[in-house]
Chains A and B, each alone.
Chain A
């Protein structure tokens, strides 16, 4: 079986639609380790991707005014037990462009694998980018995921990012996202992670609301069990008139797991307003009782609540 077929087989087993690679109207980029396996572009969407010694370096541009109709699929993975994959992404959405990127990150057999993502994203004036990253991990926990992104949003731009790692062992996760938002810009960052065994989760997301009337929300949903650790840091800076930001962190803790939330709010303009809320603890008692009164066992009730917050 070719490496592409092997990767797409796992992708399909994880619920992905393999047909996206055969559709010429869907842009995609598929890489296994440091091998570029498949690529397709569409009108107004430019990709310059090359293999490096340890991964892939790609420059992606969505041209001015172009709205990419179908989501762009990025499929990255390492099928071997050991290895390193460094992805360097340079993404630019020109003025009034829009695109939705869906990244599938597949590491089913990782015993000692590092996946490093280093992204620089420039969102032009009035442009909109949606980025959804979903990970499919195996049960070994030998994976280290280090996604780093620096995002700059021009005036009236919009950026929505969603990170999901709820399948398999997390391993070690160290997210570091930083966003600078211009006038009237909108930012939404959401992370959902389910940690087990001795998984170690660190999520650090920062939004600097630099432009007048810019808005943001950082939302984190983490469930951990066994001996897992999680530390979530949400930083919002309100530096301009009318800027509005909110940090919302919820962590459900079971067994011997340990969770920490660090909301940091820094306001330098008296006409800016940033709020935060953090809830850490076991599953809510009233929610449990309500579901049990509906006939669910305690185990089923916990499962429904955890799946709900990670959805």
Chain B
């Protein structure tokens, strides 16, 4: 069953179309990987779906659970079940990991979610979500907090960046945990070993989907540089 339908959205920044008549769908409990070189509009799509300030489609519709959400604010979308882990999560002074994980629900067991992202709860729950954490630790804690929300749709913007290669399995475990909870995931990543665990994948270039289908097929397409618009490491067309 369809959870989110992005119908022909365009997003303009200055005189450039970052997303250009972009469409995609995600089913309930589906992990959908989004591939694309730097600057192709992946994070922009994430911000548009989450409803970040300054990110509203100039054309098209975002329909979530049968409801058009174009004009909803972030917290209103969160209340519908959408959440997001930013590529570089912010730090907070004076908020412990325990408090951060229980912000929206005091009844959950934060230790459970901290362990799910490969951290020892007794070493981390009392720590602050501030600059004393390394980039990798902060990302894991963000993933734990998103897991604790049990969202209908989790947008994960490069959850693997800043996390060492040896810990890739932890990220895979987290994504599988979302699936087990029945959450859908919009997964932005560059790592093939993570793409292949998705149910479906799409390659984005020049603000459009240029290839969509099985993760293996899309990863192959991406690596072979068959995209007629983008053939390099960095897309120069947006």
Contact = CB atoms under 8 A, between A and B. Distances in A.
Interface stretch (B25-33, B91-99, B174-182, B213-221): B91-99
A311 B94 contact: yes
A304 B95 contact: yes
Interface in B143-160: 145, 149
A271 to B, nearest CB: 27
B53 A294 contact: no
Contacts of A294: 78, 83, 103-104, 145, 149
Contact of A286 (B73, B79, B86, B104): B86
A58 B103 CA distance: 45
A297 B93 contact: no
Given A308-B94, A308-B95, A310-B94, A293 B103 contact: no
A51 interface: no
A226 B149 CA distance: 34
A287 B90 contact: yes
Contacts of A287: 90, 92
Given A285-B53, A286-B86, A304-B103, A292 B94 contact: no
- Chain A CB within 10 A, most for which of B53, B75, B86, B145: B75
Contacts of B86: 286, 290
Contact of A307 (B84, B94, B104): B94
B21 to A, nearest CB: 26
A308 B129 CA distance: 10
Contacts of B74: 289, 292-293
A305 B95 CA distance: 8
Contact of A292 (B78, B95, B145): B78
Contact of B84 (A293, A308, A310): A293
B68 interface: no
Interface residues of A, number: 24
B104 to A, nearest CB: 4
B78 A295 contact: yes
A309 interface: yes
A284 interface: yes
B96 to A, nearest CB: 9
A296 interface: yes
A289 B149 contact: no
A291 interface: yes
Contact of B89 (A290, A295, A309): A290
B75 A297 contact: yes
Contacts of B94: 307-311
A298 interface: yes
B93 A290 contact: no
Given A285-B53, A286-B86, A289-B52, A295 B92 contact: no
Given A294-B145, A294-B149, A286 B90 contact: yes
B136 to A, nearest CB: 18
Interface string B66-77: 000000011100
A33 B3 CA distance: 66
Interface string A245-257: 0000010000000
A287 B86 CA distance: 11
Interface in A240-297: 250, 284-287, 289-297
A300 to B, nearest CB: 8
Contacts of A304: 92, 95, 103
Interface of B: 50, 52-53, 73-75, 78-79, 82-84, 86, 89-90, 92-95, 103-104, 145, 149
Across the A-B interface, give the 6 residue pairs with the lowest CB-CB distance, nearest first: A308-B94, A311-B94, A292-B74, A292-B75, A295-B104, A295-B78
16 contacts: A250-B93, A284-B90, A287-B90, A287-B92, A289-B50, A289-B53, A292-B73, A293-B74, A294-B83, A294-B104, A294-B149, A295-B75, A295-B149, A298-B73, A298-B75, A308-B92
